[in-house]
Protein backbone atom coordinates (compact mmCIF):
# COMPACT_ATOMS: atom_id res chain seq x y z
CA UNK A 1 0.00 0.00 0.00
CA UNK A 2 2.83 2.40 0.81
CA UNK A 3 4.21 2.02 -2.71
CA UNK A 4 0.77 2.71 -4.20
CA UNK A 5 -1.51 5.36 -2.76
CA UNK A 6 0.66 7.16 -0.22
CA UNK A 7 -2.14 9.47 0.88
CA UNK A 8 -4.41 6.52 1.69
CA UNK A 9 -1.53 4.76 3.43
CA UNK A 10 -0.85 7.83 5.59
CA UNK A 11 -4.51 8.11 6.54
CA UNK A 12 -4.61 4.41 7.46
CA UNK A 13 -1.41 4.71 9.51
CA UNK A 14 -2.89 7.67 11.41
CA UNK A 15 -6.17 5.82 11.97
CA UNK A 16 -4.31 2.74 13.30
CA UNK A 17 -2.02 4.99 15.39
CA UNK A 18 1.06 3.28 14.05
CA UNK A 19 3.21 6.19 15.23
CA UNK A 20 3.19 4.51 18.65
CA UNK A 21 3.70 0.96 17.36
CA UNK A 22 6.24 -1.08 19.34
CA UNK A 23 8.14 -1.98 16.16
CA UNK A 24 10.86 0.51 15.20
CA UNK A 25 10.57 -0.69 11.59
CA UNK A 26 6.86 0.18 11.45
CA UNK A 27 7.50 3.58 13.03
CA UNK A 28 10.31 4.19 10.54
CA UNK A 29 8.02 3.50 7.57
CA UNK A 30 5.48 5.92 9.01
CA UNK A 31 8.17 8.56 9.64
CA UNK A 32 9.41 8.29 6.04
CA UNK A 33 5.88 8.50 4.69
CA UNK A 34 5.12 11.48 6.92
CA UNK A 35 8.18 13.22 5.50
CA UNK A 36 6.75 12.76 2.01
CA UNK A 37 3.03 13.23 2.63
CA UNK A 38 2.67 14.50 6.19
CA UNK A 39 1.16 17.73 7.38
CA UNK A 40 1.62 20.05 10.33
CA UNK A 41 -0.74 17.76 12.25
CA UNK A 42 1.91 15.01 12.11
CA UNK A 43 4.63 17.10 13.71
CA UNK A 44 3.44 16.46 17.28
CA UNK A 45 3.80 12.69 17.12
CA UNK A 46 6.99 13.06 15.11
CA UNK A 47 8.48 15.20 17.89
CA UNK A 48 7.80 12.33 20.30
CA UNK A 49 9.76 10.00 17.99
CA UNK A 50 12.89 12.12 18.28
CA UNK A 51 13.74 10.37 21.54
CA UNK A 52 13.03 6.85 20.30
CA UNK A 53 16.35 6.19 18.61
CA UNK A 54 15.17 7.61 15.29
CA UNK A 55 16.29 11.18 15.76
CA UNK A 56 18.04 11.77 12.43
CA UNK A 57 15.35 10.29 10.18
CA UNK A 58 12.56 11.88 12.22
CA UNK A 59 14.24 15.29 12.13
CA UNK A 60 14.71 15.01 8.36
CA UNK A 61 11.03 14.10 7.95
CA UNK A 62 9.96 17.03 10.15
CA UNK A 63 12.06 19.46 8.10
CA UNK A 64 10.50 18.03 4.92
CA UNK A 65 7.01 18.67 6.30
CA UNK A 66 7.96 22.19 7.38
CA UNK A 67 9.48 23.01 3.98
CA UNK A 68 5.97 22.73 2.58
CA UNK A 69 4.56 25.26 5.08
CA UNK A 70 4.42 29.04 5.29
CA UNK A 71 7.00 31.01 7.28
CA UNK A 72 4.69 31.62 10.26
CA UNK A 73 4.15 27.88 10.78
CA UNK A 74 7.89 27.25 10.60
CA UNK A 75 8.51 30.00 13.17
CA UNK A 76 5.95 28.44 15.50
CA UNK A 77 7.81 25.12 15.28
CA UNK A 78 11.20 26.79 15.69
CA UNK A 79 9.86 28.21 18.98
CA UNK A 80 8.72 24.77 20.14
CA UNK A 81 11.98 23.09 19.15
CA UNK A 82 14.07 25.78 20.82
CA UNK A 83 12.31 25.10 24.14
CA UNK A 84 13.34 21.44 24.02
CA UNK A 85 16.83 21.19 25.58
CA UNK A 86 17.65 18.13 23.45
CA UNK A 87 16.80 19.96 20.22
CA UNK A 88 17.48 23.63 20.88
CA UNK A 89 20.60 23.54 18.69
CA UNK A 90 18.48 22.47 15.73
CA UNK A 91 16.11 25.41 16.06
CA UNK A 92 18.47 27.54 13.98
CA UNK A 93 17.84 25.25 10.99
CA UNK A 94 14.14 26.08 11.23
CA UNK A 95 14.85 29.77 11.74
CA UNK A 96 16.91 29.79 8.55
CA UNK A 97 14.12 27.99 6.70
CA UNK A 98 11.58 30.51 8.03
CA UNK A 99 13.85 33.36 6.91
CA UNK A 100 13.99 31.91 3.37
CA UNK A 101 10.21 31.42 3.30
CA UNK A 102 9.57 34.94 4.59
CA UNK A 103 11.81 36.34 1.83
CA UNK A 104 10.06 34.22 -0.82
CA UNK A 105 6.63 35.28 0.48
CA UNK A 106 7.76 38.94 0.51
CA UNK A 107 6.96 39.23 4.22
CA UNK A 108 9.48 41.99 4.96
CA UNK A 109 8.53 42.51 8.61
CA UNK A 110 8.64 38.80 9.31
CA UNK A 111 11.94 38.57 7.47
CA UNK A 112 13.47 41.31 9.64
CA UNK A 113 12.11 39.67 12.78
CA UNK A 114 13.71 36.35 11.82
CA UNK A 115 17.04 37.96 11.02
CA UNK A 116 17.09 39.74 14.38
CA UNK A 117 16.08 36.55 16.15
CA UNK A 118 18.85 34.57 14.45
CA UNK A 119 21.40 37.23 15.41
CA UNK A 120 20.24 36.99 19.02
CA UNK A 121 20.42 33.19 18.85
CA UNK A 122 24.01 33.28 17.60
CA UNK A 123 24.97 36.04 20.04
CA UNK A 124 23.65 34.00 22.96
CA UNK A 125 25.60 30.90 21.85
CA UNK A 126 28.82 32.87 21.33
CA UNK A 127 28.56 34.49 24.74
CA UNK A 128 27.72 31.17 26.45
CA UNK A 129 30.81 29.59 24.89
CA UNK A 130 32.91 32.60 25.84
CA UNK A 131 31.89 32.30 29.50
CA UNK A 132 32.50 28.54 29.49
CA UNK A 133 36.01 29.18 28.19
CA UNK A 134 36.67 31.79 30.89
CA UNK A 135 35.34 29.48 33.63
CA UNK A 136 37.67 26.65 32.50
CA UNK A 137 40.72 28.94 32.48
Measured distance CA(137)–CA(135) in Å, rounded? 6
pLDDT given for residue 135 in this prediction: 56
pTM: 0.82
pLDDT given for residue 27 in this prediction: 87
pLDDT given for residue 109 in this prediction: 95
pLDDT given for residue 58 in this prediction: 92
pLDDT given for residue 96 in this prediction: 95
Measured distance CA(39)–CA(66) in Å, rounded? 8
Per-residue pLDDT of the chain (137 residues; tens, 9 = 90+): 455 688 888 888 888 888 778 888 888 899 999 999 999 999 999 998 887 777 889 999 999 999 999 999 999 999 999 888 778 788 999 999 999 999 999 999 999 999 999 999 888 877 766 665 555 55
Render the burial of 78-95: b for 16+ CB within 10 Å, e for the rest.
Answer: beebbeeeebeebbbbbb
Measured distance CA(39)–CA(70) in Å, rounded? 12
Q: Where are the domains of the chain?
A: 1-68, 71-137
Amino acid sequence: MVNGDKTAAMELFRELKLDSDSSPAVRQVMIELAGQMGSVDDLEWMTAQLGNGQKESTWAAMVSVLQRQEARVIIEWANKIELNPLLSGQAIELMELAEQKAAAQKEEILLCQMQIRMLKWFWTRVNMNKWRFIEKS
